[in-house]
């Protein structure tokens, strides 16, 4: 193998990196095993998902919460030697709210998990990358005759409020509401309320075509990730949390669904 000298420092070639990759792969194969399909953590996560699914948003008795297991419980395909799960992450989106990129065509069809009336918010950039506002634009109502959704405009557009910082009594962990059990054998739970976006956001438009090495990811996995869209979680930028208005209105783009696919690929 030929080494390249740059400023008297030895740099590695692609062949060197291939050897290192083989060493790491061998280490994982010899020290880890595939995670069991049903672990204690998975059972706890499923239980919390069931609890979330039976709850309802306080401001809409007909709305449903659609849960998703995220974080280390969902992401780890292997069982490492050391404990790797510290808590359970459950994301849940409201079946009556949808986020779309600004300027995106109005949807006429929605997945079955959504109700027959859906408030639609446009994702509006803030001055911090990845942090956005959700501007309520119109209401979609499903027609019983053809199941298509039809639109009625809101008279006064307003931003959807981020409730996370409204109550100083609640315990938070990033964008999540923290729930801690008195039973030490049950993991704490991070409940993340989110707004579903079915489209891949323009803020990450360069990601699908980004140059990659070692043929990872393959085009099928990239397509699967892009088609799953993203979520928007209630999280204000650290420099905005002291501002009473911005901390209640600012949200953050979340790619937890993509991270699950990436980790398991």
Task: Count the Cβ atoms, other than its own, within 10 Å of residue 51.
Answer: 15
Per residue of the chain (265 residues), give pLDDT as tens: 344 444 444 455 656 767 887 888 788 777 766 665 666 777 777 887 888 888 877 667 778 999 988 876 665 555 655 555 667 888 899 999 999 999 999 999 999 999 999 999 999 999 999 999 999 999 999 988 888 899 888 877 788 887 665 444 456 656 666 566 566 666 777 888 899 999 999 999 999 998 887 778 888 999 999 999 999 999 889 898 888 788 889 999 999 999 888 877 7
Architecture of the 39-263 domain: 2-Layer Sandwich (3.30)
Contact between residue 119 and residue 95 where contact means Cβ atoms under 8 Å apart:
no
pTM exceeds 0.85 for this model: no
257 CB contacts (<8 Å, ≥6 apart)? Answer: 68, 70, 225, 228, 229, 230, 231
Please state the φ and ψ torsions of residue 233, each to the nearest 5 degrees: -110, 155
pLDDT at 8: 44
Strands (E), 4-55: 4-6, 9-11, 33-34
> To 10 degrees, the CA torsion angle through 247, 250, 256, 259?
-100
Q: What angle do CA 241, 242, 244 make, to 5 degrees?
A: 90
Q: Please, what is the angle between helix 256-263 and helix 219-227, to 10°?
A: 160
133 CB contacts (<8 Å, ≥6 apart)? Answer: 123, 124, 126, 159, 249, 250, 251
Domain ranges of the chain: 39-263
pLDDT at 181: 59
């Amino acid at each position: 193998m030929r080494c390249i000298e740059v400023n008297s420092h030895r740099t590695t070639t692609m062949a060197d990196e291939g050897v290192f990759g083989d060493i790491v792969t061998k280490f994982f194969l010899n020290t880890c095993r595939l995670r069991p399909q049903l672990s204690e953590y998975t059972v706890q996560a499923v239980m919390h998902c069931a609890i979330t699914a039976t709850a309802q948003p306080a401001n809409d008795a007909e709305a449903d919460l659609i849960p998703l297991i995220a974080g280390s419980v969902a992401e780890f395909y292997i069982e490492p030697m050391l404990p790797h799960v510290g808590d359970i992450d459950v994301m849940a989106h409201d079946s009556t709210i949808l986020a779309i990129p600004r300027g995106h065509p109005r949807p006429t069809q929605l997945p079955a998990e959504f109700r027959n009336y859906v408030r639609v918010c446009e994702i509006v950039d803030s001055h911090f990358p990845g942090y956005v506002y959700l501007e309520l634009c119109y209401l979609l109502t499903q027609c019983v005759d053809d199941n298509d959704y039809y639109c009625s405009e809101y008279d006064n557009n307003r931003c959807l409020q981020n409730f996370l910082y409204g109550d100083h009594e609640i315990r938070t962990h990033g964008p999540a509401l923290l729930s801690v059990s008195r039973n030490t054998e049950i993991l704490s739970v991070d409940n993340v309320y989110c707004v579903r976006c079915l489209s891949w956001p323009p803020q990450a438009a360069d990601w699908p075509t980004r140059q990659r090495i070692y043929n990872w990811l393959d085009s099928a996995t990239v397509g699967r990730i892009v088609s799953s869209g993203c979520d928007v979680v209630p999280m204000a930028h650290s420099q905005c949390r002291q501002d009473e208005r911005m901390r209640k209105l600012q949200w953050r783009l979340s790619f937890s669904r993509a991270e699950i696919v990436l980790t398991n690929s």
